[in-house]
Structure 1
Amino acid sequence: MRRIAPVAAAAALTVLLLAGCSMGSGGESSGYEPAMPAPAEGGDTGQSADEAADADGGSPAATQSVITTGRMSITVDDPLAAAEEAAALADDAGGRTESRTEQPGAGSASPRAELVLRVPADELDAVVDELREFGHVNGVTMNESDVSTERKDLDARIEALGASVDRLELLLSQASTITDLIAIESELTTRQAELDSLTQQRDWLVDQVDYSTLTVELITVETAPDTAPDDFWSGLAAGWAALVGFASALGVAIGVLLPWIAVLLVMAAIVVLVVVLATRGRRRATPVTTPAAPAAPSGPAAPAADPQRPAPSPEDEPRA
């Protein structure tokens, strides 16, 4: 039996390394599970695996896992004070404040606050009901995402890798040569790193399931300041501000209309030019007519005037 034990250990190491290679190339983590032989010290491995399978049916991973996220918007009198109360409310419920942003009122900006609360899933409804009493609720949004499949898959892979790591540690303690020792340590390091990564993913998923995420926005009603002037100087300032505003608006209006005015002027000039040219053309085309001479009076014809004879002077005319 003592001579067979080293041979069995070497065979088990070879099968384990081959199974690890097949798993690293894309196979499931449970692909090497049936190939592992039982330890020589006892035959309890099969019984513990059955017990683990039975226990897995009643584990929390077998139940439904739901991630709940929500958002609330509330109008309150003092957002900063309400933020303090909301953070204390989450602490009292067993949760925590993941992030908090506050903006004090300055100038025309109103104060506001926003908190991201992590509340236990079974206390979420109670916390939301208490937050409703802070002021006027503008809106509430709740979303649920079922991650039961992802959680079961992570639990199965973690369990398989944990068993593989345990068996590699056992083989490492039984290694008799340097070659076997190096090979087992390399495979053990790879499996341990993968196990740690999956464990972190599972822990994050469990935290998201156990603690719901609630974003609370706290705002206040914006109050417009009283701008009515109450003395001479405030009236003067208000008048000057109105004048500057009117001049600014007038400049903007002129700037907007100026391109249109330029286009209209060009169009008007073209129309006037066309009308002038058409009028001149009509004047040139119309013939010039001379007026007709008046008809001569009836009676003896007057002698024709001699163009060489000078016109009679007033002294030459006969006197009556």
Structure 2
Amino acid sequence: MLSNVPISAIRAFEAAARTGSFRDAANELHLTPSAVSHAVRKLEGTLRTILFERSARSVRLTPAGENLMRHAGAAFDQLRRGLEEVAARPQLVRVHSAPSFAAQWLAPRLAQFLAAYPKLEVRLAANTDYARFSNDDFDIDIVCGPPRAEGVEVVPLPEETVTPLCSPALAKSIRNPADLLDQTLIRSDVKQVQWHQWFTANGLEAPALHGMRFDRSFLAIATAAEGLGVALESTLLAERELASGRLVAPLSGRANDIRYFGHRLIYPRASRQRSAVRAFADWVVAQLGDEDVRSPQ
């Protein structure tokens, strides 16, 4: 039986079953959707069974298809790992990230990732644009806010705590939320959580804001660490400054913080680098799971 089944047909079936789409499978295999469909139909004819239930927009495995996919998926995973080992070349993971997450959290930890995965290399780019997976420039994107891409896996990163942060010297004059009305409040224009929301959560009317404003959280954090005002920022992004004592949360336990899911990790469902992408995604989630990102220290 196996000698009568072209390996190309099994490959087309595995890609379509994994992605749930003939179109995504075709993109991955550099074929047309009709070529993938034809290969699957030929395989079904050889096996004399139906592997997919087809509709206008999607395909779904039949019980026979699910049975074959268990074996084919495992076989192709083994084959991919074997080819990677034989090639003995570092595999490149191309990561795009929101700038502040990249600067404050990801870049300082890349050495840990590379030590854990010595056969992988990382290329990191950071800007406020979303990665375009269609042009194959990136394998992973870490976005701030809801993702806009289609046909991607979405991994929500842990909940973050947003709270006022300032230098230890400035914190001495901040004992309750109302004390912030007399302080210089630093703004981050692109943040999802703004000062007016924090004041509302604490039963106060937000003051008119003047002075320093930035378009990146890492700039607001750096400015607050220099003692120039109070920033409303995520304790996840400011964890190094909090750990070193350059920043403190003066109202920790004395005010209502805002908690939200700020970042998400996304990657194409039809990624050709599944093992490397999965390794990086799992590592990010594990690193964040080992940290207390829900409340300031």
* Structure having the larger proportion of residues in strand: 2
Same fold (TM over 0.5): no
The two structures have a TM-score, normalised by structure 2, of 0.27
Structure with more of its chain in helix, by fraction: 1
TM-score, normalisation: structure 1? 0.26
